[in-house]
Structure 1
Amino acid sequence: MSLFIVWLGVMFPLVFSPGPANIVFAASGAQVGVKRSIPLVAGIDSVFIIKSIIIGYGLGEVVNNHPELMNYLQLLGAIYLVYVATKFLRTNSSKLKSTSKALGFFDGLLIQILNSKGWLMVFLMFTLFSEQSQATFGDSGIAILIIWLAFLNISIHFLWVSIGELLSRISSSPLYEKWLNFFYAGCLMAVSIWLIIENPMIKTVLSTST
């Protein structure tokens, strides 16, 4: 129990923080509701579980030894987030909301595969807690961390979707819905720009050009 409390104290803020995936969840909940956002959640959390298995059982060393892979993922992820942001600008009224195309399972896969924050978060978890979990639970330690993270991710992700749906129900005004979509799109654009600016490859190019 003490290990779980410490683990939760570290991982909850990381999972709950408004990163790319959580912003997409809130926007999807606002646009199409919780039920139609389930495939998106399933896609993102499927990749999270696969990431956890890969890194937890040692295969993550390949990524760790080749940091340039993370840099490429970060750039591709930023570009894809710009595309996702434009999709949230296409629905500006309640009539269109009921027929708008929801982000699906494949969108979730791409968002999470290209989400460098997600990779780093899983790396951090196993760096901090692998030895403790194995000392506490033996050979099952890694599997238990994977299960804990899966349950935390799924619950928090549905919370973000529900928050988005709740915000969309506050007002039925088309103007409110329009600006809510602009807000989500703006958040994703801001995250995209930050990911590009902070990318080590881009920093190297900028430093050499100056």
Structure 2
Amino acid sequence: MEYSALILFTIATSITPGPNNLMIMTSGVNYGFRRSLPHLLGIDIGFVLMIIGVGLGMSQLFAQVPQLLIWLKVIGIIYLSYLAYRIATSPTKPLVADVLDEMKHKPLSFLQAALFQWVNPKAWIMIVGAIVTYTNTSMDYSLQVAIIALFFLCLGTPCTFVWLGFGTALKRYLANPLHLKIFNIVMASLLLLSLLPVVLELVEITK
């Protein structure tokens, strides 16, 4: 197992913009650091549990039913597009981020953020990429999956904190309603842009 390469892969995929990072940054802007912590922990712990689940069981299911992964990606694209719309059209007060209850104004909970990983296209790409690329026959497969999960927990979590810190630092500047509106529209646009590689991949598959 190439540990140095896995470290680089983990940091590179965790720090670059994607649905999780853009959403936690937006949460930091709208709700601040402390109130966004459950969202952050849901992202990182939920992602690690997803690595274990996919690595130890669901990868075999996807091998037998490849259409299942395609449909999960389609659902993820639709869901993230909806979230982008919610962000872009949110009022210039705390973002309505609770997708389960339109009447509540609060950030995503730990459970919501953890469950969100299963419809996050980037999460699937990262996990499948890591497992396919960095596991081999030289050591126990389950141990390798556990190592990948540990690397993402130890190295990916600080990356998420960085994005939350960005959002928190911008909070004072974005207290201006116009600035907040522009920020939310930009974040929504970037969220949609982050889906482009997945959309292109699905187009290629369906050709």
**TM-score tier after normalising by the smaller chain length:** 0.7 to 0.9
2:144 aligned with 1:145: no
Q: CA deviation at 1:191?
A: 3.5
Q: Tell me, what secondary structure is at the counterpart of 1:60?
A: helix
Which of 113, 132, 141 is residue 118 of structure 2 equivalent to?
113
Structure-1 residue corresponding to 2:172: 169
Structure 1 residues 105 and 87, CA gap change in structure 2 (3 angstroms):
farther
Q: What letter is aligned with 2:52?
A: I
Q: Percent identity?
A: 26
Structure 1 residues 190 and 9, CA gap change in structure 2 (3 angstroms):
closer
Question: Which 5+ residue runs of structure 2 have no aligned equivalent?
Answer: 96-103
Structure-1 residue corresponding to 2:185: 182
Q: What's the CA shift string for 1:11-60, capped at 9, x where partnerless?
A: 21112121111111111111112211122223222331222112333541
Larger helix proportion of the pair = 1
The whole-number CA distance in structure 1 between the counterparts of 2:20 and 2:10 is 16
2:12 aligned with 1:13: yes
Structure-2 residue corresponding to 1:125: 130
Q: CA deviation at 1:3?
A: 4.3
Structure-2 residue corresponding to 1:29: 28
The whole-number CA distance in structure 1 between the counterparts of 2:165 and 2:62 is 34
Structure 1 residues 169 and 134, CA gap change in structure 2 (3 angstroms):
farther
Contact 1:79 1:192 in 2 (8 A): no
Contact 1:40 1:108 in 2 (8 A): yes
Structure 1 residues 133 and 36, CA gap change in structure 2 (3 angstroms):
farther
The whole-number CA distance in structure 2 between the counterparts of 1:145 and 1:193 is 26
Q: What's the CA shift string for 1:44-102, capped at 9, x where partnerless?
A: 22331222112333541212332211211111111111222233232414xx57x9421
Structure 1 residues 134 and 194, CA gap change in structure 2 (3 angstroms):
closer
Q: What letter is aligned with 1:152?
A: L
Bigger Rg, structure 1 or 2: 1
Contact 2:70 2:202 in 1 (8 A): yes
Question: Which 5+ residue runs of structure 1 have no aligned equivalent?
Answer: none
The whole-number CA distance in structure 1 between the counterparts of 2:114 and 2:148 is 22
Q: CA deviation at 1:132?
A: 7.9
The whole-number CA distance in structure 2 between the counterparts of 1:133 and 1:172 is 54
TM-score by length of 1: 0.78
Structure 1 residues 58 and 31, CA gap change in structure 2 (3 angstroms):
same
Q: Which moved more, 1:18-27 or 1:126-135?
A: 126-135
The whole-number CA distance in structure 2 between the counterparts of 1:180 and 1:86 is 13
Structure-1 residue corresponding to 2:100: none
Which of 82, 106, 114 is residue 101 of structure 1 equivalent to?
106
Structure 1 residues 153 and 90, CA gap change in structure 2 (3 angstroms):
same
Structure-2 residue corresponding to 1:154: 157
Structure 1 residues 180 and 132, CA gap change in structure 2 (3 angstroms):
farther
Contact 2:17 2:194 in 1 (8 A): no
